[in-house]
Amino acid sequence: MSKLGSIGARLYRGEVGYDFIGKRKIWYGISILITITALVGLAVRGLNFGIEFSGGAVFSTPKTSVSSAEAQHTAESAAPGHQAMVQKLGNGTLRIQISGLDTKQSLPVQEQIAKDLKVPVDNVNTQLVGPSWGEQIADKAWLGLGIFMVLVVLYLAVAFEWRMALAALIALIHDLTITVGVYALVGFEVTPGTVIGLLTILGYSLYDTVVVFDSLKEASKDITKQTRFTYSEIANRSINGTLVRSINTTVVALLPVAGLLFVGGGVLGAGMLNDISLALFVGLAAGAYSSIFIATPLVADLKEREPQMKALAKRVRAKRAAAEAKEASRAEAVDDPQDDPEDGASVVGPRPQPDARNRGRGRPSGKRR
């Protein structure tokens, strides 16, 4: 831990660092590749919407020893052409949901489930969900997302500048696209819990980005009055200065979410935990990535187009070229061989003078005896 703290201090002071900005084209290429993969998965596989969005029926059974696979086979046999999803709850009961069923179609399914479980029909609870309710949830989610984006852009434009607001917006879209694409590729069901998770990651995605932007804003004050660093180099120092902090906060946030996803969802089989935790896990990881590799390099690209930043970069290059030329001439002067007097070369220099104490000795003093 002390070694990590030492590395963080050296990164903050600029003693060590990685050239994130200089290799930004690599990160752009990786992000484009991941985004294209997510969009292809979304177009080919699509999203697996739950009954809250598509409509259908949910059957809740009493405690039973029937396995989930047997209950799924029973439900799909009673409702040909429909796919059933079965969850074994902690108290031994079953939750069976079938999309696209109406009231008339749900009755034989309820009777068949009760028959196979050998329980009265009344003990199998049936809930019908209409697709209009899911449409209302989707519309409100889109509305909330739009309002959030507008407020974020306005705030960042006022608190920082419009280039940072634009870069943060692109990073947010990048994170949302990747998260939705992962849902399509994995095939997890999209439920209201998924919507909650997607809206939650927006704030987490912006956290690291704002931290880097704040450091960059502070470091770039009066930047045109110096000739040591360009804007891109200062942006790179800001990323390195906050790198350990970003890693620490991301790891601390991911650990409990990973527990929900892999332990709660994978081991315990809690479906709602899967919906929320997958969105949080992917969104947090994508947000940490985009704040370092997408948002700040985009700001540097936009700023370097300004005439003032171009002039600054030119002055920095000229100063470094002059310093390199001076150092090279100094090295040549040191490496040049001196003439050796033993090789017969005459030595040019001042003639040796007699010592001051011996000067005038042996001469008449001019005094009378």
* Predicted local distance difference test score (pLDDT) of residue 196: 80
Using pLDDT thresholds of 50, 70 and 90, give the confidence band for residue 86. Answer: confident
Q: Determine the 3-state secondary structure of 270 from DSSP.
A: coil
* Residue percentage of the chain with pLDDT more than 70: 81
- Between 335 and 247, the higher pLDDT residue: 247
- Between 196 and 2, the higher pLDDT residue: 196
Using pLDDT thresholds of 50, 70 and 90, give the confidence band for residue 351. Answer: low
Which pairs with CB-CB distance under 8 Å and at least 24 residues apart come from 70-76? 70/116, 71/96, 71/113, 71/116, 72/96, 74/112, 74/113, 74/116, 75/109, 75/112, 75/113
pLDDT 10s digits, 199-240: 888 877 788 888 889 989 988 888 888 888 999 999 998 898
The CATH number corresponding to 56-129 among 3.40.50.720, 3.30.70.3400, 3.40.640.10, 3.40.50.300 equals: 3.30.70.3400
* Predicted local distance difference test score (pLDDT) of residue 104: 77
- Between 134 and 204, the higher pLDDT residue: 204
**Among 63, 58, 59, 69, residue whose Cα is nearest residue 119:** 63
Whether 164 has a pLDDT exceeding 90, the answer reads yes
Whether 23 has a pLDDT exceeding 80, the answer reads yes
Whether 347 has a pLDDT exceeding 70, the answer reads no
Joined tokens for residue 7:
């590395």
Domain residue extents for the chain: 2-49+133-314, 56-129
Mean pLDDT, the chain, rounded, equals 79
Residue 105: other Cβ atoms inside 10 A? 15
CATH class of 2-49+133-314: mainly alpha
| Residue carrying the six token digits 């370092």 | 292
